[in-house]
Structure 1
Amino acid sequence: MTELEFDFLRGYLKQRSGLALTAEKRYLVESRLGPVCRRFGLASLGDLVGALKVSRDSAIERAVVEAMTTNETFFFRDRVPFDLFRETLLPQALTRRAAQRRLRIWCAASSTGQEPYSLAILLQEAAPRLQGWQVEIVATDLSTEVIEKAKLGLYSHFEVQRGLPVQMLLKYFTQVGEQWHIAPAIRSMVDYRQLNLLHPFDALGQFDIIYCRNVLIYFDAPTKADVLARLAASLAPDGALLLGAAETVIGLTDRLAPNPEHRGLYGHPPGARAAEPAARPLRFAALR
C-alpha cells in the first residue's frame, strides 16, 4: 500500500465513520482490510482503493467501514456505569418521571448488544418498582453486522463469561449447544437500529439516559464537539449522559457539564435547557 493509498483510506474512513487514523495505524489498516480484499476477489489494497474510487458498490463500502470499526464490548463492562444506573440513575428516574411513568434509554454504539442487554437485565431485576411503566431501550450502531448479531442474542461461552455474574447467566440465558441464548423477554426490551453518529439523529427523539461510551476516543476534536452538541440536544433537560472513562466534554462543548460526584457522568449545566427535538410517536416495550 502506497502513502497515497493510505491517505485516501484515512480520508475515506474519516468521512464515513469519523474514525481518525494516525500515520502509525497503517499496520492496522493493512491487517483489517486484507480479508476484505480476499472477500471481494481483489488482489491488493491498491485494488481496493481503486474500487472505492470508481465504484459505488455499497457492499464493499460497508465492508471497509465495518472492518475498521472496533467492536470491543462485554456484559456490564467497567461495572461502575451499571452500578451507577442501578443505584442512582434509575431511582432518580423513578422520582422524576413518576407522573409520566415513561423512561427512554439510548445505547449509542451498542456493538453486539452486551451493553443494552445489561441495562435490560437491570431493569428486569427492578421490575417490581416499574410496574405500569413504559420503558424503551434504543440501541444503535454503525455496523449492520453487529446489529444482526445483537438481535439474535446468541453468545459464546467466552462472551458470557466476560462480566456476566453466574446467577444472571442462569436466570436470563438458556444454553444451546456451546452457546447461550438470552431470554426472549430481555431481547424484546431492546430496539436495535443501524445509525451513523456522524449523521443527524434528532429523529430518534429525546432520551432520559444516554450511554455513548468508548466512541468519541476514535474521533478528532471537531467531530467530538459536533457529536456532543447533538447528543446534548437529544438529552432531556434533567437527563444523564454516560461517556467512557477516557472521554470528556471539557473543552469540546458548553452544553454539557461533568457531574462532580460521578466520573463519566454528564448533564446539562445548571439553568441550561436542551433544544427540544421535533415530536414523534414513541414505541415502548412494557416490562414483564
Structure 2
Amino acid sequence: MTDLDFDFLRTYLKQRSGLALTAEKRYLVESRLGPVCRRFGIASLRDLVGALKVSRDTGIERAVVEAMTTNETFFFRDRAPFDLFRDVLLPQVIARRASQRRLRIWCAASSTGQEPYSLAMLLQEAGSRLAGWHVDIVATDLSTEVIEKAKLGLYSHFEVQRGLPVQMLLKHFTQVGEQWHIAPSIRQMVDYRQLNLLNGFESLGQFDIIYCRNVLIYFDAPTKADVLARLAASLSHDGAILLGAAETVIGLTDKLAPNPEHRGLYGHPPEAGRSAAPRPLRVAALR
C-alpha cells in the first residue's frame, strides 16, 4: 500500500465514520482490509482503493467501514456506569417522571448488544417500581453486522463470562449448545437501529439517559464537538449523558457540563438566572 493509498483511506474512513487514523495505524488498515479484499475477490489494497474511487458498490463501501470499526464490548463494562444507573439515575427518573411514567434511554455505538441488554436486565430487576411505565431502549450502531448479532442475543461462553454476574446468567439466559441465548423478554426491550453518528439523529427524539461510551475517542476534536452538541440537543432538560472513562466534554462544547460528583456523567449546564437541576443522590457502595 502506497502513502497515497493510505492517505486516501484515512480521508475516506474519516468522512464516512469519523474515524481519525494516525500514521502509526497503517498496520491496522492493512490487517483489517486484507480480508475485505479476499472476500470480494480484489487482488490488493491498491485495487481496493481503485474500486472505492470509481465504484459505488455499497457492499464494498460498507465492508471497508465496518472492518475498521472497533466493536470491543462486554456485559456491565466498567461496572461503575451501571451501578450509577441502578443506584442514582433510575431512582432519579422514577421520582422526576412519576406523572408521565415514561423513560427513554439511548445506547449509541451499542456494538453487539451487551450494553443495552445490561441496562434492560437492570430495568427488569427494578420490578414493581416501573409497573405501568413505558420504557424505551434505543440502541444504535454504524455496523449492520453487529446490529444483526445483537438482535439475535446469542453469545458464546467467553462473551457471557466477561462482566456478567453468574446469577444474571442463570436468570436471564438459556444455554443452547455451546452458546447462551438471552431471554425474549430482555431482547424485546431493545429497539436496534443502524445509525451513523456523523449523520443527523433528530428523528430519534429526546432521551432521559444517553450512553455514548468509548466511541468519541476515535474522532478528532471538531468531530467530537459536533457530535456532543447534537447529543446535547437530544437530551431532556434534566437528562444525563454517560461517556467513557477516557472521554470528556471539557474544551469541546458548552452545551454539556460534567457532574462534580460522578466521573463520566454529564448534563445540561445551569442556565443564567435558572436554578441548577437537583444534584444526583450519592451512589451506594458498589456491589
TM-score tier after normalising by the smaller chain length: over 0.9
Residue 38 of structure 1, CA deviation: 0.2
- Partner residue, 2:281: none
TM-score (norm 2): 0.94
Q: Structure 2 regions of 5+ residues with no counterpart? A: 275-287
- Partner residue, 1:60: 60
Q: Give 1:211's aligned amino acid.
A: Y
- Partner residue, 1:79: 79
- Partner residue, 1:190: 190
- Partner residue, 1:285: none
- Partner residue, 1:112: 112
Offset from partner CA, 1:201-254 (integer Å, 9 cap, x none): 001000000000000000000000000000000000000000000000000000
- Partner residue, 2:6: 6
- Partner residue, 2:43: 43
- Runs of 4+ in structure 1 off by over 6 angstroms are none
Q: Give 2:64's aligned amino acid.
A: V
Whole-Å separation in 2 of the counterparts to 1:136 and 1:127: 16
SS of residue in 2 equivalent to 1:103: strand
**Where do residues 127-206 of structure 1 align in structure 2 (5 Å cutoff)?**
127-206=127-206
SS of residue in 2 equivalent to 1:82: helix
- Partner residue, 1:24: 24
Whole-Å separation in 1 of the counterparts to 2:179 and 2:43: 36
Q: In the alignment, is residue 245 of structure 1 matched against residue 262 of structure 2?
A: no
Whole-Å separation in 1 of the counterparts to 2:171 and 2:128: 17
Q: How many residues align?
A: 273
Q: Give 1:88's aligned amino acid.
A: V
Q: Give 2:188's aligned amino acid.
A: S
Whole-Å separation in 2 of the counterparts to 1:222 and 1:120: 33
Q: In the alignment, is residue 270 of structure 1 matched against residue 270 of structure 2?
A: yes
TM-score (norm 1): 0.94
SS of residue in 1 equivalent to 2:112: coil
Residue 180 of structure 1, CA deviation: 0.1
CA RMSD of aligned residues (A): 0.8
Q: Give 2:130's aligned amino acid.
A: L
Residue 271 of structure 1, CA deviation: 2.2
Residue 270 of structure 1, CA deviation: 1.1
Residue 128 of structure 1, CA deviation: 1.3
Q: In the alignment, is residue 100 of structure 1 matched against residue 100 of structure 2?
A: yes
Q: Give 2:29's aligned amino acid.
A: V
Percent identity of equivalent pairs: 88
- Partner residue, 2:282: none
Offset from partner CA, 1:144-168 (integer Å, 9 cap, x none): 0000000000000000000000000
Residue 127 of structure 1, CA deviation: 1.7
Whole-Å separation in 1 of the counterparts to 2:189 and 2:271: 33
Q: Give 1:222's aligned amino acid.
A: P
Q: Structure 1 regions of 5+ residues with no counterpart? A: 274-288
- Partner residue, 2:220: 220
